[in-house]
Structure 1
């Protein structure tokens, strides 16, 4: 881990030595106190220090990204990102660069990215999800971002440029990389312009059924309304379907959000649930805010209070 951190520092310093590469060091620090019924940092259901948990707004991280202008409108870049546990300073994931590890080429024709990265279904959900895809997102936790999750390993992905607010993203992972009988694909179509955000995603991983999610958000000044419908499935072809509705209100530095999901079919647990998250945030600056959230998830009650700083 020390060697990796030294490499990070060298990469960051190279942004000074080679300005044309535009290398940037960035990160997030997020910690607080909370309770996760499914087992917290020490495997208990007790109130404890939380970092990188379901009830943190985000996971603390340190990342480095860079871009080089190749001329003729063509650019090349990379992104490496690791998770950190502020409870004890340990690496948050099994693999050091588990959050992002990719290289890309881009231009007026779009961006082609190779490596570990966000899935198109996640990017689509972010278009209309009310908490900013926080760790405690009820939509993300209930339906696992249309069944495919946040990130994909060994992915080949293409993202189009924006056409009047319309963007498309397509990712593919070979069956060899998955170690499964079939390959995986994921498609996201997004529209974000002014007060409107709409997204449709569809994906299939080997033996799963085709998963999909359709959602939208509309901003009404200080208020926003959102709704979605999802079908997610697993490798046993068990399905979970349902809809989500929510609203948020912004009053100066305060933002309050209530987001709900309701199953119409749930073969994952055999019981249909109504889940929900209530969140309150107060912005101390453009980069720092405090938050409190309560998440009701499949018969568990979870809460967290914390502070997040972006740098």
Structure 2
């Protein structure tokens, strides 16, 4: 993603009266990631899967200079199932599909996008928001909760989202503020959302707070509301980065329980080597069905675009919990643990 293939579709386009030269550029980018692994949950499997380091994807993004410090842009991004060549999430641009405009006043974007809380966590945890292997993903688990809650969970991305952002990319120094909302369109699974996040990145530290309220939608048999809040931070000591997060999820669905998550992480970088560790403890209020997930990882950068990596993961389900990571099969109510090991390659383009 840092080195996209540049396709210059229109350069030196003249403005309406020919007074300004404006340019539009479109880029193709993506990630190709595959690993070989041994995964054990309620059953044991040897697998060739995608997404051990980062989920594979193919995207298109474009930007046009409007003059006066303003730009219009778009992003279309689909997932890729590298092991069998299919496209997940309905076969379309299910990862991201939005259009926006930005300037000195901030940015306004509309479409299917990541939520503000997602970006806060992405900037902190060492394994990122990897859907397969990052222990922080236990925060999206709804195991032990009513079936209704499982239709929503922790929303990492949302359709029909209108978002205002002040500040640069989450990796940039300084203040970043996001406010986002999506309407209830009256269809099952398309409930509304309200979200807010604020973060500040200094010379060697990052602090953030985020919250979101997600509705099941008026088409649900019994509408309900989920709320998630999180604080997170990181600090850099030379080559070592320490990070932490605390997340709380509530729901007013009948029988729902509050879930809290404490996440600790560290990463150590030297030359082409990167070592990582992450721990997430999940506590389900007034229930024995808690969970503890831990991962250890190593990345070796062959170049700016290509890395080899190894992963070790252990997920301990307590009571009758059935949480899962690494695409392991865990039978409902089994309390079975997950153990996984993987060796893979990631290539950015």
| SS class of match (1:200) | strand
Structure 2 partner of 1:310? 348
State which of 229, 233, 238 in structure 2 corresponds to 1:212: 229
> How is 1:17-56 mapped onto 2 (pairs within 5 angstroms)?
20-37=23-40, 45-52=44-51, 56=52
- Deviation of 1:274 after TM superposition, in Å, equals 1.8
CA distance in 1: counterparts of 2:107 and 2:65, whole angstroms: 14
CA distance in 2: counterparts of 1:20 and 1:31, whole angstroms: 37
Q: Which runs of 5+ in 2 are unaligned?
A: 14-21, 143-152, 216-223, 318-336
Question: Which stretch of structure 1 is more off in the superposition, 151-160 or 66-75?
Answer: 66-75
CA contact (8 A) 2:226 2:251 kept: yes
CA distance in 2: counterparts of 1:89 and 1:12, whole angstroms: 24
- Alpha-carbon displacement from aligned partner over 1:67-88 (angstroms, at most 9, x marks no partner): 1111222211100011112212
Change (3 A) 1:12 1:76: same
CA contact (8 A) 1:37 1:300 kept: yes
CA contact (8 A) 2:139 2:154 kept: no
Higher helix share: 1
- Deviation of 1:137 after TM superposition, in Å, equals 1.3
2:155 paired with 1:138: no
CA contact (8 A) 1:117 1:153 kept: yes
CA distance in 1: counterparts of 2:189 and 2:84, whole angstroms: 36
Structure 2 partner of 1:6? none
Structure 1 partner of 2:150? none
Structure 1 partner of 2:263? 244
- Alpha-carbon displacement from aligned partner over 1:119-146 (angstroms, at most 9, x marks no partner): 101011112111233331111x110299
| SS class of match (1:121) | helix
The runs of 4+ residues in structure 1 deviating greater than 6 Å are 16-19
| SS class of match (1:98) | coil
CA distance in 1: counterparts of 2:11 and 2:83, whole angstroms: 32
Bigger-Rg structure (1/2): 2
CA distance in 2: counterparts of 1:191 and 1:104, whole angstroms: 23
Change (3 A) 1:242 1:60: closer
| SS class of match (1:80) | strand
Structure 2 partner of 1:120? 116
CA distance in 2: counterparts of 1:181 and 1:98, whole angstroms: 14
CA distance in 1: counterparts of 2:167 and 2:191, whole angstroms: 29
2:295 paired with 1:277: yes
- Normalising by structure 1, report the TM-score: 0.85
> How is 1:163-182 mapped onto 2 (pairs within 5 angstroms)?
165-176=174-185, 179=188
Change (3 A) 1:251 1:178: farther
- Normalising by structure 2, report the TM-score: 0.76
- Deviation of 1:16 after TM superposition, in Å, equals 6.9
- Deviation of 1:183 after TM superposition, in Å, equals 2.8
Aligned residue pairs total: 293
CA contact (8 A) 1:82 1:100 kept: yes
- Alpha-carbon displacement from aligned partner over 1:255-310 (angstroms, at most 9, x marks no partner): 1111111234357x851222111111111111111111122234211222110011
State which of 86, 98, 121 in structure 2 corresponds to 1:90: 86
Aligned-residue CA RMSD (Å):
2.8
- Deviation of 1:235 after TM superposition, in Å, equals 6.6
Structure 1 partner of 2:322? none
| SS class of match (1:133) | coil
State which of 261, 266, 269 in structure 1 corresponds to 2:280: 261
